[in-house]
Amino acid sequence: MTEKNIVSIIIPCFNAVKYTKQCVESVLENSTYPYELILINNGSSDGTKKYLKNLKIKSEYLKKLRIINLKSNYGVAKALNIGISESCGRYVCYINNDVIVTKKWLEGLVYALDADKNNAVAGTLFNPFEDKIFVKKAEKNKNVISAAADKIRLSNRHKIKKAKTVHGLCMCVKKNVFKKIGLFNENFYPCFGEDIEFCERVKKYGYKLVDATDVFIFHYWNKSVRSKEFEKQNKNIETVMQKHYKKFNIPKKHKI
């Protein structure tokens, strides 16, 4: 497909419809860069399919909405690869459905990618897994998230930092990179590790990983993968997580 100067946002959804709604609403509210939205229902058994079916949205910056319903849980990597094959943007941004994005997030990611021709993947700052207090505050009042994002955006304006890896909770990639190094590895089923392994390949090909440090997003952490259906498919989620972190030697914390 013809690549346009837009971002193709891909959101794989597996249950946790409450968080999917919040994620989509935040994208609509805070995306002021041209984009298409690709929502992939990965065999959800809750109200996700119904929610997506009734989703009717309009936005000045939304150029196209695509909804893909998969019959079963194909895993995160395969869902992403399906979305990428259907995308038409110059950039592909993958976010988890339990993420809340903030003001100017797309502009920050695109700026970080375009700052250097070898910048292939851009990530953001986000709340650490261990920061339970911040999560509780954010759940009670979403303005806490906006306030944190505004402060970071102003203090880190256009600052870009080299990254060891970029987490799949929010990962923006120049689409032509996929043509050169391949898509996500579907052997990482149902989840965990596909983002890290992809980043390792990116570095091997001589490309750079960066963080747009003026972009902050909020992550609820594992709302989809903690569902009973997901745990039936992967009974050793914690073991798999620790294995991948150890193998690729990345930090468990991402400090703001």
SS3 32: coil
Q: What is the pLDDT of residues 11-28, one digit of tens each?
A: 999 998 999 999 999 999
Q: What is the pLDDT of residues 31-74, one digit of tens each?
A: 999 999 999 999 999 899 999 999 988 889 999 999 999 999 98
Helix axes 76-86, 194-204, angle to 10 degrees: 60
Closest CA to 31 of 8, 52, 70, 62: 62
Cα separation, 106 vs 31, whole angstroms: 6
Confidence grade of residue 91 (pLDDT, cut at 50, 70, 90): very high
Query: Can you give the pTM of this predicted structure?
Result: 0.86
Answer CATH for 4-248 from 3.40.50.620, 3.40.50.970, 3.90.550.10, 3.50.50.60 = 3.90.550.10
Question: Does residue 97 contact residue 19 with C-beta atoms inside 8 Å?
Answer: yes
Question: Does residue 101 contact residue 26 with C-beta atoms inside 8 Å?
Answer: yes
What letter does residue 128 receive in the DSSP assignment? -
pLDDT (0 to 100) of residue 243: 53
- Residue ranges of the domains in the chain? 4-248
